[in-house]
Amino acid sequence: MDFAIQRCCVTPIYLKSYNSSTDAVLRALDIGLVDIKEFNCCGYPLKDIDLKAHVLASARNLCLAEKRNLDVMTFCNCCYESLREAKHLLGEDESIKRDINEKLMKEGLEYGGTTEVRHLLEVLYNDVGLEALKEKVVMSFKGLKIAVHYGCHILRPRQLVQFDDPGTARVFDQLVEITGAEIIPWEAQLDCCGAPVWGIDDDLSMDLTQKKTKDARQSGADYLCVACAYCQVQFDRVQKMLLSRRGEDKGLPSILFTQLLGLSLGIDSEALGIDQNELDARGITHFLSHEESPTQSYGSSTP
């Protein structure tokens, strides 16, 4: 199983651990990732400015993957929604498709529409499957309470992303449960993390983030768990700034799903970049205990 991977623009400097943990986990699961050097931004940040610019950026990546007969996988909700939206528009609106193809033709690309856009969670759930994942788990979390944050763009707009039911989503919960962690229900679960307005209205952004972290903590969570580059930067890096700016001492650290799963697959925490989190997440390993009868060992599957 090979995918062309769309890595989000925030990861090379601000979230290196998402790249390294995804690589390590997918290697352990025998899923091949192809890094297409020519890939550009998915276009998400351009949606505010110029829809066509966004579609053009997405379309180019879809074409590059199409040329290699690959589907695109992303670990960022915003990239996911953005690519799917572009794919939808290109399929629906002949004039946009013509216009975009005219521009892409200059570099020998043409959008055909055969490439699918997949989210990492969706691949794990549908293609690998819960049972197969369970078999690979060698370490289980005991007594770890996780507040699962889906993130907006993996659920909404419903017609576009079609990942799970936006109101009663369970897919991510089930994936987290594989690791042995306990899922806690929390009221603010489906709200936005606040990232889209960070840099535009920081007070508002911090309000939204704080509302979520407070609610999750009060509901008993030890950690947030996310599967989106923007959400993680917001809950980790921005939350750290928030805590110092608002003079708060109690935050709620957030862990990437690939880090959480990686630990339970027995992957070295250094490869998963656990120590690179801005808000200390190293304590999470204290919740780990060996499975009673490990089916398979991945003890040294560091890259």
Partner 1 sequence: MFFSVSLYIALSIFVLGLFWKISTWFRYTVGPGAREIKTSQRLFAAIKGIIVTILSPKILTLLKVFVLDVLFQRRIFVESRLRWAMHMYIYGGFMLLLLMHAFEDFITLTLFPDYASTLNPFLFLRTLFGVMVMVGLGISVYRRHILKIPRLMNNAMDHYMVIILAIIMVSGFLLEGTKVVSHTSYQEMVEDWSDVDDEESFKALESYWVEKFGVVSPDLEGPFDAEILAQGRDLHEMNCEACHSRPQWAFISYGVAKIVSPLAVSLDKAGVPTILWSLHFLACFVGLAYLPFSRMFHILAGPLSLLANAVMDRERSDPANIATRQVMELDACTHCGTCSLQCSVGVLFEQIQNENILPSEKLASVKRFTANRIAKEKDIKRIQEGLYLCTNCYNCTLVCPVGINLQDLWFNVRETFIQDGHPEVFALSTLSFYRGLRRDELDDKDYEKPLQLASQTMAEEFGLFDSQDTPIDLGSLDNSFKKDLRTSAQGSTFSFCFTCTTCTSACPVACNYDNPPEALGLTPHQIVRATAVGLPDLIFRSKMLWTCLGCYQCQEACPQGVRVTDILYALKNMAIRRVKEKT
Nearer to partner 1, 43 or 266 (CB): 43
Shortest Cβ 241–partner 1 spacing (Å): 7
Q: How far apart are CA 59 and CA 84, in angstroms?
A: 10
Helix, strand or coil, per DSSP, at residue 118: strand
Name which position in 180, 196, 251, 253 contacts partner 1 (CB under 8 A): 196
Name which position in 4, 5, 31, 57 contacts partner 1 (CB under 8 A): 57
Q: Kindly identify the residues of this chain, within the stretch 134-163, that bind partner 1 according to CB under 8 A.
A: 152-153, 156-158
Q: How far apart are CA 99 and CA 52, in angstroms?
A: 9
Helix (H) or strand (E) holding 226: strand 223-226
Structure tokens at 85: 């939206």
Q: For strand 71-74 and strand 117-119, is the pairing parallel, antiparallel, or unpaired?
A: parallel
Nearer to partner 1, 20 or 264 (CB): 20
Cα torsion 116, 120, 124, 125: sign:
negative
Contact 22, 8 (CB under 8 A): no
Residue range at the interface with partner 1 (CB under 8 A); choices 133-141, 177-185, 202-210, 282-290: 202-210
Name which position in 68, 98, 103, 170 contacts partner 1 (CB under 8 A): 103
Which chain residues interact with partner 1 by CB under 8 A?
A: 9-10, 12-14, 37, 40-41, 44-53, 56-57, 60, 92-93, 103, 106-107, 152-153, 156-158, 166, 190-192, 194-202, 204-205, 207-208, 211, 230, 233, 237-238, 241
